[in-house]
Amino acid sequence: MSNFNKSLLHRFLTWKSKNLTHQQFLMMLSAVIGFVAGLFAVIIKNLTHLIQHLLESEFIIKYHDAFYFIFPVIGLLIVYLIIKFVLKRNVGHGIPTTLYAISRQKGIMKRFQMYASVITAPITVGFGGSVGLEGPTVATGASLGSNISRLFLMNQATRTLLIGCAAAGAMSSIFKAPIAAIIFAIEVFSLDLTLSSLLPLLLASVSAIITSYFFFGTQSILPFELKDSFQISEVPYYILLGILASGCSLYFTKVYFSSTKIMKRISSPFARMLVAGLILGVLIYFIPPLYGEGYSVVNNLLHENYMNALGTNLFNAYLENIWVVVALLAGLVLFKIVATSITFSAGGVGGIFAPVMFMGSSMGHCFALILNHSGLLRHPISVSNFTLVGMAGLMAGVLQAPLTAIFLIAELTHGYELFIPLMITAAISFMITTRFQPHSVYTLDLAQRGDLLTHNKDHTILTLMNISQVIEKNFIPLEINMTLRDVIHKGVIKSSRNIFPVIDKNRNFMGIILLDDIRPIMFDQKMYDEVKVSDIMQRAPEIIDIDKDGMKQIMNKFQKSDAWNLPVIKEEKYVGFISKSKLLTAYRKKLIEVTV
């Protein structure tokens, strides 16, 4: 930053401190961040549409139908080249990257993340990559919120809130669903639901949706009006749909991570991109609806237009048979997540929100068709209603955000007539899914590493704490072959601590010696050369492994052992000690930092 800019910023901060309270300035910032996040959503969406329009231009149209399955490979290659030679950094997956920044980097996101997804996501999706744009849009807005908060010297709690404001703004702009956007930010980013956090989220969401209306008018991503009302007799079928949605959610998560793990076995990024890109091309060749985000498929399913939804495929001549349609819809449910995982494995940049809605709509539609043509019902059920509720069920299971799922579908349909079936299906899907898979696709990796923030305040504070900052290293280590004389002269005399770590010649941790253990013999000089460290050492009550134990595990070890100091190791080698008093002091300090 130039001296002029620094001076200007300093003058502004001085003026702000004199004329605005923290809360007033926060309101202003949240509205600005919401507007810019909405603007990013517009830019990403329009760039994607521009690429799609160019691929369907007169120059390419005659090749489009025959070779469109090659376009995703071309797009993935372009993204690979941009990341390797232009950005020279890993872009990451939108929302998980943002959650990691909040939990492990104090909400600090790199500046390049403000534009990286703007470049790469439209190319990935515009060329037909089977992912969505919501995650990259949220990540772009979140990076903006993070860097603006750093510019104005905000604390960690405010920085996290502004990241949530950016996420709410992005979702509000994309779906024109301001209430669902606020709930999304609270559910996914584990924000505290207080008046001081709710008002900035509200301002950001409103600011973003106004931006969206300015550029897109009343145009919606899923333009649909309910035509069938909810019937109480359909409740059992919505319960069954919730159970089905939980099964599909578990399948989604399992395939997503398994496919990614399998593709990572290919060590070369270029080879992985090429192999995954070709697999994706083959999938799209045989199942054309897997091409791109898939919202056109969702819209066609809502209007029960099977021909357009399923596209040109090998079974076009048999689409008059409803069971062929059912089988093809089931195929969409099974293979969409495969195509999405392959796109990510190939280096594509995108999100999973659109694939979840695609799978959910196909699942709900397929379920309704099976019931209607099974001969078991007196009166047919509404296919479009079950298509909508199916999306909510899968969102509740895969994203583990049931309230977001309920309010998003309710707002998209401009009414709350489906509120009861939405609540039934989303709640059942969420409860069953979390019973077998306690973490969402967004958070599973973070949870396994102990980096996940939740609405549990104690767990959040422990996750945010930095282990390295509470390790004390002013303990004098004693080698295992030392004599009591060495212990007295090299340890006790020089140390102010009453505990000594025991190590071998390679600094591997072996045990501890307490001052109380040697006090009965430390004045008996006859024993100085007879007693060795190995004779008087003892095992530590618990050992903290810096590579494996998070703060939650460390707290549990202190509680279990009732010790005041516990040794810390890294790759079996002694590092230092953590004391209970320093740990609690750091906990209190972090609690103050993250409280708005």
| Residue 221 maps to a domain | no
| Residue 419 maps to a domain | yes
Please tell me whether residues 535 and 419 are part of one structural domain: no
Beta strands, E only, 438-572: 471-472, 478-479, 499-503, 509-514, 544-545, 565-570
How many CB atoms within 10 Å of residue 272?
A: 18
How many CB atoms within 10 Å of residue 282?
A: 12
Angstrom distance (rounded) from CA 528 to CA 551: 40
How many CB atoms within 10 Å of residue 214?
A: 12
Q: What is the CATH number of the domain that holds 579?
A: 3.10.580.10
| Residue 158 maps to a domain | yes
Last residue of a domain, one of 168, 186, 216: 216
Please tell me whether residues 188 and 327 are part of one structural domain: no
Please tell me whether residues 468 and 423 are part of one structural domain: no
Please tell me whether residues 397 and 335 are part of one structural domain: yes
Last residue of a domain, one of 427, 450, 473: 450
Helix (H) / strand (E) containing 359: helix 353-372
How many CB atoms within 10 Å of residue 100?
A: 20
Tokens 């949605």 -> residue: 245
Identify residue 264 by its one-letter amino acid code: K
C-alpha gyration radius of the chain: 29
pLDDT per 10-residue tile (average), the chain, 596 residues? 65 74 86 91 91 74 63 89 87 76 75 88 90 89 86 81 90 91 87 78 93 83 82 92 96 89 86 88 87 88 84 73 89 92 88 92 94 86 92 94 92 82 96 89 64 52 67 87 85 84 89 84 78 85 84 81 87 88 74 56
Please tell me whether residues 76 and 211 are part of one structural domain: yes
| Residue 455 maps to a domain | no
Closest-CA residue to 366 (of 323, 411, 318, 404) = 323
| Residue 502 maps to a domain | yes
| Residue 203 maps to a domain | yes
Please tell me whether residues 90 and 127 are part of one structural domain: yes
Please tell me whether residues 435 and 530 are part of one structural domain: no
| Residue 550 maps to a domain | yes
Q: From the centroid of its chain, how far is CA 234?
A: 34
Last residue of a domain, one of 415, 450, 485: 450
Please tell me whether residues 203 and 342 are part of one structural domain: no
378 three-state secondary structure: coil
Residues of the domain holding 60: 3-216
User: Could you tell me if 273 and 348 are in contact, meaning their C-beta atoms sit under 8 angstroms apart?
Assistant: no
Please tell me whether residues 302 and 203 are part of one structural domain: no
Buried b / exposed e over 544-565, threshold 16 CB at 10 Å, is bebeebbbeebbebbeeeebeb
Please tell me whether residues 239 and 316 are part of one structural domain: yes
| Residue 76 maps to a domain | yes
Please tell me whether residues 360 and 465 are part of one structural domain: no
Q: What is the 3-state secondary structure (H, E, C) of 419-448?
A: HHHHHHHHHHHHHHHHHHCCCCCCCHHHHH
The pairing of strands 478-479 and 499-503 is parallel
Q: Specify the number of domains making up the chain.
A: 3
Q: What is the CATH number of the domain that holds 41?
A: 1.10.3080.10
Please tell me whether residues 312 and 205 are part of one structural domain: no
